Structure 1
Amino acid sequence: MDRYAKMFSRLDAENQGAFVPFVMVGDPDLAQSEAIICQLIESGADALELGIPYSDPIADGPTIQAASIRALGNKATVADCMAVIARVRAKYPDIPIGLLLYSNLVMARGIETFYEQAQNAGVDSILVADVPIREAAPFQKAADATGISQILIAPPNATEETMQKIGEYSKGYTYLLGRAGVTGAETAANIPASELIARLNKHNAAPALLGFGISTPEQVKSAIDAGAAGAISGSATVNIIAAHLGDSEKMLSELGKFVASMKSATTKG
């Protein structure tokens, strides 16, 4: 089994869902970023979703855009980010690590080359935020060649045809959008997740993780209760980093408390 399958199997046995925090690699700088990622794992994160800084992140709200700007301001490159991930992978061999990024970052290196570099760093999955499923074939091919799971997005307005394709091609997990729009903790998830999850299950899609607008333990619990395999929280995690840029010790402490509180809400029933 791959790392995602092992994680979901373990969590099922423990009657829990997954909590997956997102952070931007290189935010606020490379050294602190590595410490932050390790803190998330040590505090109970079941998997990681990591961003690669990019100058035009069209699917992201102001919080994650600001994280990209901070990382780019400190000269974080794709190679630097891969090196951080490789060190995290060496320290934590079992945790699933996913990338959420934009197609220009992949295509600038060549799709096959990028996926090979990600594989070498220990990446388990890649979600290319600005590539719809109808254009995903080259990325899917590279993912298959490297054993990486190509993560597909299930939007709240997905047609039955899209749901069917997600069921056919999804691996690792399915990123279920809790609402339309860009990322951000400011707007709560407001789509009836249970209906979307039922549609995904009908097509045997990979387990659904609910994202976009997840910022409180209550929202995590609601996602699990609706049938999601877990929840992803990005902007709320990054907000903690932004609030404590001048105090690394406080930042790590608050991130630890946040992850622990979100993870505690994943118990089913």
Structure 2
Amino acid sequence: MTQPAETRLTRRFSKLKAEKRAAFVAYIMAGDPDHETAIEIACGLPESGVDVIELGLPFTDPMADGPAIQAAAMRSLAAGGTLARTLETARAVRARHPDTPIILMGYYNPIYSRGVERFLAEAGEAGVDGMIVVDLPPEEDEELCLPANAAGLHFIRLATPTTDDARLPAVLNNTSGFVYYVSITGITGAAEASAEAVAPEVARIKRATNLPVCVGFGVRTPEGARAIAAVADGVVVGSAIVSRIGAGDSPRKVLEFVRSLAAGVRGEAEHV
């Protein structure tokens, strides 16, 4: 089937491969704690060392997410967060950072409610490069994955510790951009990722695909980010950043923390 060819995302991973370093992928919830502050933080992420931005779609029932991201979704919704405003955030980032990949991460319901064709057109216009929709399994590829690929947007799938060799081909089929390996069994922020446990799983996935493998769920500190960066093509941090926002940290303080994580991914900081 047709998949996106050269994109901002593929170019970014090619550049990082040439530099022999892992990608730093940072997640924030769009609209958290409010629309304007979320845009300020999102626009500051690339300057703070972020290679790929994951922008969360606020939703009332984020079943794969732990308390930190659930609370972020509720803050966003209470402040008027919507899919349309999420795309406004993407547009603001794209206007300031033409080359930074932007991935939307969330659930299918808001997309379905808007209409797949309309959503894909608007996402492309906003400068979105791909999406992670955690509640659409491979058996439902015709719903969104295939139309997204046809529209030039990556559809990034999750692999987990329970994705065995029999299931892995289905997960990888039609996936593009990168594979997101969930380092723990459970919800986001539930436990700390172990590089020792992650390394053989990343190697197993890489034997089955040429796509980069990024590891998320359970990466909380610069030290943890550095350890995962040594065994994966990318490190995803979400709950730890969102928790800082939830605690009321200013955008400046949030971005300082993001910079410490970026230094960890790059192996530049022993202690932050």
TM-score, normalised on structure 2? 0.91
CA contact (8 A) 2:155 2:176 kept: yes
Farther off after superposition, 158-167 or 124-133? 158-167
**3-state SS of paired residue (1:108):** helix
Counterpart Cα distance in 2 of 1:266 and 1:16: 8
Q: Does 1:234 align with 2:238?
A: yes
**3-state SS of paired residue (2:27):** strand
> After superposition, where does 1:180-199 map in structure 2 within 5 Å?
180-184=185-189, 186-190=190-194, 192-199=197-204
Which position in structure 1 is the counterpart of 2:3?
none
Question: What amino acid sits opposite 1:68 in the alignment?
Answer: A
Question: What amino acid sits opposite 2:124 in the alignment?
Answer: Q
Task: Report how far residue 167 of structure 1 moved.
Answer: 3.4
CA contact (8 A) 2:41 2:255 kept: no
Decide whether aligned partners of structure 1 residues 122 and 88 sit closer, same or farther in structure 2, where only a CA change above 3 A counts: same
Which position in structure 2 is the counterpart of 1:45?
50
Pairing partner for 1:76 from 77, 81, 88: 81
What percentage of residue pairs aligned between the two structures are identical?
Answer: 36
Question: What amino acid sits opposite 1:181 in the alignment?
Answer: G
> After superposition, where does 1:142-221 map in structure 2 within 5 Å?
142-184=147-189, 186-190=190-194, 192-221=197-226
> Deviation per CA, 1:55-92, whole angstroms, max 9, x where unpaired?
11111111111111111111122112211211211111
Task: Report how far residue 259 of structure 1 moved.
Answer: 1.6
TM-score, normalised on structure 1? 0.92
Which position in structure 1 is the counterpart of 2:67?
62
Which position in structure 1 is the counterpart of 2:118?
113
Task: Report how far residue 15 of structure 1 moved.
Answer: 2.2
Which position in structure 2 is the counterpart of 1:247?
none
Counterpart Cα distance in 2 of 1:150 and 1:20: 16
Counterpart Cα distance in 2 of 1:183 and 1:26: 19
Counterpart Cα distance in 1 of 2:123 and 2:177: 16
Q: Does 1:138 align with 2:137?
A: no
Which position in structure 1 is the counterpart of 2:256?
257
Counterpart Cα distance in 2 of 1:139 and 1:161: 23
Question: What amino acid sits opposite 2:230 in the alignment?
Answer: D
Gaps of 5+ in 1: 245-249
Matched residues, number: 262
